[in-house]
Amino acid sequence: MRKNVFVIGAGASFDFGLPTGEGLISEIVEYCQTALTRRRSSTDAEDDFIRRSALALRDTVFFDHSVYHRDDLLKDGLSRISRSLWLAKSIDNYLNEQQDRELTALGKALIVTAILRREKTPAKVFKAEDSPLWVPEGQERMEFSRLRDTWLVPFYREFRGGVSKDYFEDRLEDSTFIIFNYDRCFEHFMINALMEYDQYSLTDAFEVFKKIKIIHPYGKIGELEWQSDCESGVAFGAMDDIETAIKNYSRIRTFMETSEREPGEEVLQEVQSAQNLVFLGFGYAEQNLDLLGKNKDLTRNSGDRRRVLGTCYGLSPYRESKAKRALAPFMVADSRPAMRSYQMSEQNVELLNGTCSELINEYGGEWFN
C-alpha cells in the first residue's frame, strides 16, 4: 500500500467559504471597523456575535490590565490593525513584523474570530447563507449533496472506494494530512463522512478517525467538541461559543514562531516516508516549503521514488515554473548520490493549473492502489 502525504493549503478551504490570505486581511479589517463604530451588521445574529466577541477580546487579551483601561486598549489595538494591516503581505507577516506582544495576542484572537465565523457563514463571494459543511443545531446529519462541487466529495470517493471497511482503516493509517490552515474543515467532514457512509457511531468513528495522522504546523482555532475531553472544545462554526474559542487563541502560531524551531521531526518523517506527496490549494511559499523539509535530506533507500503532484490554480506560467523548481527537491527519494540530479528535475513535478477537484479527478485513482 502506498504512503500518501497530503499538504493542504488555504486554496483548499476556499471551496467552503473560508478566506485565503488577502481575504483574511479583509475579514479582520472589516471586523475591526464594525466593532469600533458599533454600526449594525446585516442581521441581529451578526450584531450579537460582534458584541460578544469584542467583549471576549477585551477581557482575554487585556486581562492583566485594570478593567477601567481595557476598553481603551482594545479600541487602540483594533484601530491600529484596521489602519495598517492593509500594508502587510499577510496577517502572519504583520504580527511578526510588528513585534508587539499584545498586538500579536489580539491578532491571533482576531484570526480565531474570523475563522470561526466563516466556518458557519461563508465569505460574501458565496451565495449560500451557511457553509455547506455546517450542520445546524437539531440537524443530525451533514448534507453531503451540498458538497458535491467541493474537493472533499471526490476525494472521499477515491479514499474510501473499492475496499472493505477493514482495508479502509489500514488505508487511513497510511495517509497523513499536513494542514497549513487554521480551520477544521477536513476533520469536521471526515468524522461526518465516516458516520454516514459506514454507519459508525460517533464513538466508533472517533476511534477510526484517530488512525489518520493530521498535523497543523501553525495550529488551529481549537479542537472540535468531539475531539476534546475538556471544556475547551468548540463545535464547527459555533459562533455562540466564541468566548471559549477566543480563550484558545494561543493555539495559533505564526510562521515565524514555527520557523524559529527546527522543522518538527514528525513533519520531516512523514514527508520522507511519502511515496505520493500531494499539494492541494497550496501557495508554495518558501517558508512553508522549508518547514516541510525542502533543504533536508528526504531520501530513503536505494531505488526509491517519490511522486510529487499539486494544484497551481490561477498561477502565471512564470510562477508555475517557479513552483516546480521549488518542489523538485522533494522528488529525491533514492539514497544513491548519482540519482539526485536525475530525480531532482522540475520536469518530473506534476502540477495542474486547476482546482483541487480537478486534480483529484485526474490523478486520485492512482494514489491508493
pLDDT > 50? residue 32: yes
Closest CA relative to residue 5, chosen from 291, 354, 309: 309
What is the model's pLDDT at position 20?
87
The contacts found for 153-162 with CB under 8 angstroms, 24 or more apart, are 154/357, 154/360, 154/361, 154/364, 155/356, 155/360, 155/364, 156/189, 156/193, 156/197, 157/364, 158/360, 158/364, 158/365, 158/367, 158/368, 159/368, 160/193, 160/197
68 in any annotated domain: no
Greatest extent of the chain over all pairs of C-alpha atoms, in Å: 69
Residues 282-309: tens digit of each pLDDT: 999 999 999 999 999 999 988 899 999 9
Q: Are 7 and 277 in contact (CB under 8 A)?
A: yes
How far is the C-alpha of 236 from the C-alpha of 225, rounded, in Å?
Answer: 8
Model confidence at 347, pLDDT cuts 50, 70, 90, reads confident
206 in any annotated domain: yes
Average pLDDT over the chain reads 91
CA distances for 187 relative to 60, 191, 193, angstroms: 27, 6, 10
128 in any annotated domain: no
Model confidence at 159, pLDDT cuts 50, 70, 90, reads very high
289 in any annotated domain: yes
pLDDT > 90? residue 47: no
> What's the whole-model pTM score?
0.93
281 in any annotated domain: yes
pLDDT > 90? residue 183: yes
Residues 122-132: tens digit of each pLDDT: 865 445 567 88
- The total domain count for the chain is 1
Residues 58-113: tens digit of each pLDDT: 999 999 999 899 999 999 999 999 999 999 999 999 999 998 999 999 999 999 99
Torsion angles phi and psi, residue 49, rounded to 5? -65, -45
Its domain, for residue 324, covers 4-15+135-219+250-366
367: left (phi over 0), alpha (psi -120 to 50) or beta: alpha
Cα 123–chain centre separation: 16
Nine-digit cell at 359? 486534480
Does residue 279 sit in helix, strand or coil? strand
Q: Are 270 and 176 in contact (CB under 8 A)?
A: yes
What is the model's pLDDT at position 126?
46
Does residue 277 sit in helix, strand or coil? strand
CA distances for 121 relative to 16, 59, 102, 139, 256, angstroms: 9, 25, 28, 17, 30
Closest CA relative to residue 235, chosen from 326, 354, 134: 134
Beta strand residue intervals within 203-356, DSSP E: 213-215, 276-280, 307-311, 350-352
